Amino acid sequence: MSQPIKIGIVGVGKIVRDQHLPALAKDQNYRLIAAASRHGKVDDIPNFPDIESMLDAVPELEAVALCMPPQFRYDAARTALEAKKHVFLEKPPGATVSEVEDLKALAVKNGVSLFASWHSRYAPAVEAARTFLSSARINSAAINWKEDVRRWHPNQEWIWAPGGFGVFDPGINALSIVTHILPALFITSAVLDFPENRDAPVAAHVAFRTSNGLPVTMELDWLQTGPQSWDILADTDKGAMVLSGGGSKLAVDGRVVHDEPEAEYPMLYKRFAEIVRSGASDVDLAPLQHVADAFMLGKRNVIEAFFD
Ligand code: NAP
């Protein structure tokens, strides 16, 4: 086996503790040797207040995983790429499409790998859904992504700020799946519900059309209490497909055909090691482009104020 990739982690918050640290601890492709965060700390390794001081003090770093909110990621990514480090970007890869395009070019210029990670694409039943749909005639599809923001994102101010995406922060996970399993699609209309005291939407009602004319709808709702749903449905000539649980379970006409434990972050780190070792990048901007298009084309509907 090749030498472990010496990696540092930046922006130590919820997703780092929940997913990145456990995934890195079990993956022999990596040795986590430093962390940078203003307040967060990782036990048993050197910690720094920012990426610049981490890169200065630990020149042997080969790669960094950037896990701060998207609005604050570009400068850190640029610093890392210019220092010739491979870069793993949490989703969404940036606050705008053009800044990530710029990072893509910078990775090529510096001869390092850039990975725009889309964790939901690595959910266990996504490939099975893609295979099923590729052999079926699809009549229509629908995305229902409905969750309780107070439960999943309590007091995360950045998520309501411009560039925080609001309900598109989870919604982009659905888009990362549909852009992988359905034919190419584009938005034809959208209505975005903005609480009167917030700069990001709490709900969105989006209509797409595929290049061959199929209707696809997307309902995003952040005020869903009780059962939560992260489902993609397709009506096809081979039956009604339901990909539920954020991509974890696949059923056709009510019969479960794929249900495995999730291993999204271990799979993401496996993919990152592959691209680093083969000298490639993996940056698919389609999910981010759809969010940009929804904001560009969407009608803004102001609704009652939201308080955590
Ligand atoms: P979080 O806990 O609120 O933020 C991560 C950390 O980023 C913060 O703890 C903060 O650490 C650092 N940070 C750096 N600059 C910041 C700034 N100007 N404002 C706020 N924080 C700043 O968020 P998270 O849930 O881990 O999400 C981070 C990224 O992961 C997002 O892009 C999100 O979409 C993605 N993600 C989250 C989840 C989830 O379940 N939460 C799942 C998948 C992906 P310091 O204060 O120590 O600098």
Question: Is ligand 1 within 6 A of the CB of residue 117?
Answer: no
CA separation, residue 249 to residues 113, 214, 256, 261, 274 (Å): 32, 24, 7, 9, 26
Question: Is ligand 1 within 6 A of the CB of residue 119?
Answer: yes
Residue 213 C-beta-side C-alpha neighbours within 13 Å: 1
Q: Whose CA is nearest to atom 43 of ligand 1?
A: 15
So what's the pLDDT on residue 145?
98
Q: Whose CA is nearest to atom 37 of ligand 1?
A: 15
Query: Which residues are the active-site residues?
Result: 91
Comparing CA positions, the residue from 283, 239, 263 lying closest to residue 99 is 283
Question: Is ligand 1 within 6 A of the CB of residue 68?
Answer: yes
CA of 136 to the centre of ligand 1 (A): 39
So what's the pLDDT on residue 1?
66
Comparing CA positions, the residue from 269, 238, 240, 244 lying closest to residue 259 is 244
Domain residue limits, the chain: 5-116, 120-262+292-303
Comparing CA positions, the residue from 125, 50, 92 lying closest to residue 200 is 92
Question: Is ligand 1 within 6 A of the CB of residue 166?
Answer: no
Mutate to test the pocket of ligand 1, among 15, 152, 262 (most ligand atoms within 8 A of CB): 15
Residue 96 C-beta-side C-alpha neighbours within 13 Å: 7
Q: How many CB atoms lie within 10 A of CB 299?
A: 10
Cα-Cα-Cα-Cα torsion 81, 87, 93, 98, nearest 10 degrees, comes to 20
CATH superfamily of 120-262+292-303: Dihydrodipicolinate Reductase; domain 2 (3.30.360.10)
So what's the pLDDT on residue 258?
86
Mutate to test the pocket of ligand 1, among 17, 68, 158, 176 (most ligand atoms within 8 A of CB): 68
Question: Is ligand 1 within 6 A of the CB of residue 69?
Answer: yes
pLDDT digit string (tens) for the chain, length 308 residues: 689 999 999 999 999 999 999 999 999 999 999 999 999 999 999 999 999 999 999 999 999 999 999 999 999 999 999 999 999 999 999 999 999 999 999 999 999 999 999 999 999 999 999 999 999 999 999 999 999 999 999 999 999 999 999 999 999 999 999 999 999 999 999 999 999 999 999 999 999 999 889 999 999 999 999 999 999 999 999 999 999 999 999 999 999 998 888 899 999 999 999 999 999 999 999 999 999 999 999 999 999 999 99
CA of 68 to the centre of ligand 1 (A): 4
Question: Is ligand 1 within 6 A of the CB of residue 71?
Answer: no
CA of 56 to the centre of ligand 1 (A): 23
- Helix, strand or coil, per DSSP, at residue 157: helix
- CATH assignment of 5-116, among 3.40.50.720, 3.40.50.150, 3.30.365.10, 3.30.1330.40: 3.40.50.720
So what's the pLDDT on residue 300?
97
Structure-token match 């990152």, residue found: 272
Q: Whose CA is nearest to atom 18 of ligand 1?
A: 72
Comparing CA positions, the residue from 96, 131, 139, 94 lying closest to residue 116 is 94
